[in-house]
Chains A and B, each alone.
Chain A
Amino acid sequence: MSIRQAPSLSTRNRKSAMAQQPETRINATTPRLDVAHLAKSYGSGEKSHAVIEDLTFTVDAGEVVCIVGPSGVGKTTLLKCLAGLHPASSGRAAIDGRPISGPPREMALVFQDYNRSLMPWLTVRKNLVLPLRHLKLPAAELKERCDSALAAVGLSHADNQYSWQLSGGMQQRVAIARALAYRPEILIMDEPFASVDAQTRFDLEDLCLKIRKDFNMTILVVTHDIDEAVYLADRVVVLGSKPARVLKIVGVDLPAPRDQITTRSLPEFARQRTEVLSLIKRPV
């Protein structure tokens, strides 16, 4: 639990030595996130209950990938495996070719329930500082990281408030700011905008795209909202139940920059939305 991992720079140098199989792709880039035949079941023997069965997909550097699927399909379980919180039962999940065995340093996770993932006894700023303490950063850098993360989510004015004094949307922005201040290279979000109102949801979706652009982050979002998935993603991984498996990976071909009004009214948006929806609605 307290093993300090080397900073990501040196892990990336090790990467080439650890790459396990030759890449077939031109340019031989290992995907940022590589999930191959991943399975997860709980319990053992006859009582064993498979939540995920044979998932395979990749996420490239700088890409936004959304995972959609019916509720209860095991999306949260998948994220917990990727975040190193649960070990996979079989198959492989790897970052830059390194198998994930515990929470990786270059990854941050935004939880579905902001209410239960922020520390209510800490102010907004201290919530951001807590994950950074063991990095022993110089005070100036610590402050700069928090300031810029709060500014990115538009909460510079709220840094001395407690999270429970803020609205739901603002709390989720605090959780996102905490992830940003941690400076991850990969940001994973579990239905991050599920419990906020529609207007806030649009704002947070745009925030997500802005983060990708400004911080060049690789982002993986689990959602049950198909419109949201199509709006955010470069690719949408459509999951079917039960147990979870990949039905199809849909490449989204919408022009950048995306905009809540114009992008959503494009015929192409409607077409892709329909494609994803019909995959999910299809009786399986």
Chain B
Amino acid sequence: MRNWLIGAGAPVLLLVAWWFLSESSLDPFFPPLRTIVGRFQELWLFEHFQSDVLLSLGNLFLGFAIAAFAGIAIGFVTALVPPVRWMVDPLIHFLRGIPPVALVPIFISLIGFGTQMRVTSIALAALFPTMIATVDGIRGVGNDLMDVARVYRLTRRERVLNILLPAAAPQIFSGLQVSLQVAFIVMIASEMLGSSQGIGAMTLLAQQSFMTADMWAGILLLGVIGFLVNVLFSLLRRKVLSWYIGSRRMARAA
């Protein structure tokens, strides 16, 4: 309870401090928080809500969903089919070294500017963490479990869906969490680099036209979205992996 209070209290305290310390600020780069919040309301609630906020969020979720499904599927094939593993393994190690944002210019030149480019960039960049985690997760499934599956003559489908998928789920979720962060970064970057719409584009435009308060408002919005998306993800993880979280807690207590 106390931890929770400190956790929730610190950001509030910080905001209050920002509010009062910036109140009389005349610095064009650091406008008062009151001005920023005012612009935040005007801009995002609700003038640009549909045209930009929903657009960005839609891209984020679509890109992430594609990355998640494709990452898990490719991860399974890679882990279970040796020839595919031999082909994909070196490729993974090369690609994982490239910062995801660096891929955006490639997609701009390949696919052009539009929503399609942004969703593709997000999906492709976010694919790798999930895929790599899936491969690792499946390789880490204990031989004992697979022996159990064989002794009880489970079908191939049952082995994949009822043994490997749940057994690898904790690792897959770690991968998904990284993918989500990557997707968020690439969402913003793709809008900043190649778009006139979306939160990223709006924020960059504000900065380039010296509308500092608008810029801060955009950053604030991105922060809030990032936070909420992570909260949602944690709730989902807690629900799906309740057995894992519970068993870990039990193991620690013992």
For A163, give the chain B residue with the smallest CB separation: B247
Q: Which of A105, A111, A121, A162 contacts B153 (CB 8 A)?
A: A105
Contact between B243 and A162 (Cβ–Cβ < 8 Å)?
A: yes
For B148, give the chain A residue with the smallest CB separation: A117
Answer whether residue B158 sits at the interface, using C-beta atoms and an 8 A cutoff: yes
Answer whether residue B2 sits at the interface, using C-beta atoms and an 8 A cutoff: no
Chain A 67-89, CB-CB to B under 8 Å as 1, else 0, gives: 00000000000001001110000
Contact between A120 and B247 (Cβ–Cβ < 8 Å)?
A: yes
When distances are taken between beta carbons in the complex, the residues of chain A under 8 Å from B4 are: none
Contact between A130 and B153 (Cβ–Cβ < 8 Å)?
A: no
When distances are taken between beta carbons in the complex, the residues of chain B under 8 Å from A109 are: 147-148, 151
Q: Which of B144, B145, B153 contacts A103 (CB 8 A)?
A: B153
For B170, give the chain A residue with the smallest CB separation: A121
When distances are taken between beta carbons in the complex, the residues of chain B under 8 Å from A83 are: 147, 151
Contact between B158 and A117 (Cβ–Cβ < 8 Å)?
A: no
Chain A 165-183, CB-CB to B under 8 Å as 1, else 0, gives: 1000000000000100010
Q: Chain B at the A interface: mostly helix, strand, loop or mixed?
A: helix
When distances are taken between beta carbons in the complex, the residues of chain A under 8 Å from B162 are: 119, 130
Answer whether residue B150 sits at the interface, using C-beta atoms and an 8 A cutoff: yes
Answer whether residue A133 sits at the interface, using C-beta atoms and an 8 A cutoff: yes
Shortest CB-to-CB span from A164 to chain B, Å, is 4
Shortest CB-to-CB span from A182 to chain B, Å, is 6
Q: Which of A108, A111, A134, A164 contacts B144 (CB 8 A)?
A: A111
When distances are taken between beta carbons in the complex, the residues of chain B under 8 Å from A164 are: 243, 246-247, 250-251
Contact between A134 and B151 (Cβ–Cβ < 8 Å)?
A: no
Contact between B158 and A119 (Cβ–Cβ < 8 Å)?
A: no
Answer whether residue A271 sits at the interface, using C-beta atoms and an 8 A cutoff: no
- The residues in B between 150 and 175 inclusive whose CB is less than 8 angstroms from any CB of A are 150-156, 158-159, 162-163, 166-167, 169
Contact between B142 and A116 (Cβ–Cβ < 8 Å)?
A: yes
Q: Which of B156, B167, B250 contacts A165 (CB 8 A)?
A: B250
Answer whether residue A113 sits at the interface, using C-beta atoms and an 8 A cutoff: yes
- Report the separation of the CA atoms of residues A117 and B162 in the bound assembly, to the nearest whole angstrom: 14
Shortest CB-to-CB span from A234 to chain B, Å, is 24
Provided the pairs A83-B151, A130-B158 are in contact, do residues A119 and B247 lie with their beta carbons within 8 angstroms? no
Answer whether residue A131 sits at the interface, using C-beta atoms and an 8 A cutoff: yes
Provided the pairs A121-B243, A165-B250 are in contact, do residues A116 and B145 lie with their beta carbons within 8 angstroms? yes
Contact between A119 and B166 (Cβ–Cβ < 8 Å)?
A: yes
Which interface residue of B147, B169, B251 has the most chain A CB atoms within 10 A? Answer: B147
For B146, give the chain A residue with the smallest CB separation: A85
When distances are taken between beta carbons in the complex, the residues of chain A under 8 Å from B156 are: 1-2
Provided the pairs A134-B158, A164-B246 are in contact, do residues A111 and B147 lie with their beta carbons within 8 angstroms? yes
- Report the separation of the CA atoms of residues A84 and B152 in the bound assembly, to the nearest whole angstrom: 11
- Report the separation of the CA atoms of residues A164 and B244 in the bound assembly, to the nearest whole angstrom: 10
When distances are taken between beta carbons in the complex, the residues of chain B under 8 Å from A130 are: 152, 154, 158, 162
- Report the separation of the CA atoms of residues A31 and B167 in the bound assembly, to the nearest whole angstrom: 39
- Report the separation of the CA atoms of residues A131 and B153 in the bound assembly, to the nearest whole angstrom: 7
When distances are taken between beta carbons in the complex, the residues of chain A under 8 Å from B166 are: 119, 121
Contact between B145 and A117 (Cβ–Cβ < 8 Å)?
A: yes
When distances are taken between beta carbons in the complex, the residues of chain A under 8 Å from B167 are: 119, 121
Contact between A103 and B158 (Cβ–Cβ < 8 Å)?
A: no
Shortest CB-to-CB span from B155 to chain A, Å, is 5
Shortest CB-to-CB span from A121 to chain B, Å, is 4
Contact between B150 and A1 (Cβ–Cβ < 8 Å)?
A: yes
- Report the separation of the CA atoms of residues A120 and B167 in the bound assembly, to the nearest whole angstrom: 8
Contact between B152 and A121 (Cβ–Cβ < 8 Å)?
A: no
Shortest CB-to-CB span from A169 to chain B, Å, is 15
- Report the separation of the CA atoms of residues A264 and B6 in the bound assembly, to the nearest whole angstrom: 62
- A contact residues vs B (CB 8 Å cutoff): 1-2, 5, 80, 83-85, 102-103, 105, 107-109, 111, 113, 116-117, 119-122, 130-131, 133-134, 162, 164-165, 178, 182
The 8 closest A-B pairs by CB, nearest first: A131-B152, A164-B247, A116-B144, A121-B166, A121-B243, A109-B151, A2-B155, A103-B151
7 A-B pairs with CB atoms under 8 Å apart are: A2-B155, A2-B156, A5-B153, A111-B148, A121-B244, A122-B243, A131-B153
